Amino acid sequence: MREITLNIEGMHCGACVRRVTQALERTPGTEVLEVRIGAARVKAEEPGSAIATLAKAGYTAHAE
């Protein structure tokens, strides 16, 4: 697994942080390190699956 930072669009509040955290925690092969408004640091086997999970949750994400 490699550590990546995801820039996440559409996060505005603590509820968004909680929703993103929960979505990433349910993503196989992903370990959540930190989530804050606008970004998340994760360890992921496949960064694309974390990005796809966030898209399903309604957020656009891009790996740095």
pTM: 0.92
Helix orientation angle between 47-56 and 14-25, rounded to the nearest 10 degrees: 130
Question: What residues does each domain of the chain span?
Answer: 2-63
- What residues have CB less than 8 Å from 38, skipping those under 6 apart? 7, 8, 9, 11
> What is d(CA 49, CA 30) in angstroms, rounded to the nearest whole number?
9
> Would you say 3 and 33 are in contact if contact means Cβ atoms under 8 Å apart?
yes
pLDDT of residue 19: 97
CATH architecture, range 2-63: 2-Layer Sandwich (3.30)
User: pLDDT band for position 64 (50/70/90)?
Assistant: confident
Q: Looking at residues 6-28, what average pLDDT do you find?
A: 96
